[in-house]
């Protein structure tokens, strides 16, 4: 059976690790700041599953926030070949969303230690700009909304996950909006 859309899962991340996968911490959107894989997958189509509410003060003065997310290939045996990540849908009246790929290689999650998903030490708060690689390189942000403009994640073997970064920008003076949303999409190929 090929790698299906249900085999590709988005997981939160955490700044702290447990002693093994079974002890991996549960994550949330409020603290998904990179570094370690969280065993908690985020619920699709759920309001505020990654981002907090944009307050009136934040929309008045403007705000930029970041999150680290893991893209997990949960298929039992097949590699997700050349997957692409993109923003497939968002509210054009809402916040701007950009995506970036961390420089750390895809990591196996079923191992004796919780895998580090991101290079560096992660972020200490949601306003800290994340960096990539041992030399703290600036990330390349992408706002493409088509598969063709999407970012290549590189092959993700079965049971592995790859770290991505999300950036939400709210321009100063943005009006209040109750139903702000964004939909991320990952598609690739498999051997079957």
Q: Does a structural domain hold residue 52?
A: no
Q: Does a structural domain hold residue 34?
A: yes
Separation between Cα atoms, residue 48 and residue 103, nearest integer Å: 27
Q: pLDDT averaged over the chain?
A: 80
Residue range 110-127, pLDDT digits in tens = 654 555 666 655 677 888
Q: Does a structural domain hold residue 28?
A: yes
188 Cα distance to chain centroid: 17
Reply yes or no on whether the pLDDT at 135 is more than 70. no
In terms of Cα–Cα distance, which of 160, 166, 2, 189 is closest to 72? Answer: 160
The predicted pLDDT at position 84 comes to 93
Q: What percent of the chain has pLDDT over 90?
A: 21
Helix (H/G/I), strand (E/B), else coil: 48: coil
C-alpha count within 13 angstroms, C-beta hemisphere, residue 162: 25
DSSP state of 59: H
Helix ranges (DSSP H) in the chain: 56-61
Query: What is the value of pTM for the model shown?
Result: 0.86
**What pairing do the DSSP bridges indicate for beta strands 63-73 and 8-14?**
antiparallel
The predicted pLDDT at position 68 comes to 87
Range of the domain at 37: 5-43+61-189
The predicted pLDDT at position 112 comes to 47
Q: Does a structural domain hold residue 88?
A: yes
Separation between Cα atoms, residue 96 and residue 167, nearest integer Å: 8
Q: How many domains does the chain have?
A: 1
Q: Does a structural domain hold residue 105?
A: yes
Q: Does a structural domain hold residue 55?
A: no
Separation between Cα atoms, residue 113 and residue 130, nearest integer Å: 24
């Amino acid at each position: 059976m090929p790698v299906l859309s249900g085999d590709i899962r988005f997981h939160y991340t955490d700044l702290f690790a447990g002693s093994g996968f079974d002890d991996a911490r549960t994550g949330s959107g409020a603290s998904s700041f990179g570094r370690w894989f969280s065993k908690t997958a985020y619920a699709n189509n759920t309001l505020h599953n990654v981002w907090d509410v944009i307050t009136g003060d934040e929309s008045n003065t403007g705000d930029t926030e970041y999150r680290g997310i893991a893209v997990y290939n949960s298929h039992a045996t097949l590699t997700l070949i050349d997957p692409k990540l993109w923003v497939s849908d968002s509210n054009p009246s809402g916040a701007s969303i950009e995506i970036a790929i961390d420089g750390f290689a895809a990591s196996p999650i079923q191992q004796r230690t919780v895998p580090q998903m991101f290079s560096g030490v992660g972020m200490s708060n949601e306003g800290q700009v994340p960096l990539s690689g041992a030399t703290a390189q600036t990330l390349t942000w992408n706002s493409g909304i088509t598969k063709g403009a999407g970012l290549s994640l590189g092959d993700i073997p079965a049971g592995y996950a790859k770290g991505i970064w999300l950036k939400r920008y709210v321009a100063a003076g943005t009006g209040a909006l109750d139903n702000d949303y964004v939909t991320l999409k990952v598609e690739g190929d498999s051997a079957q």
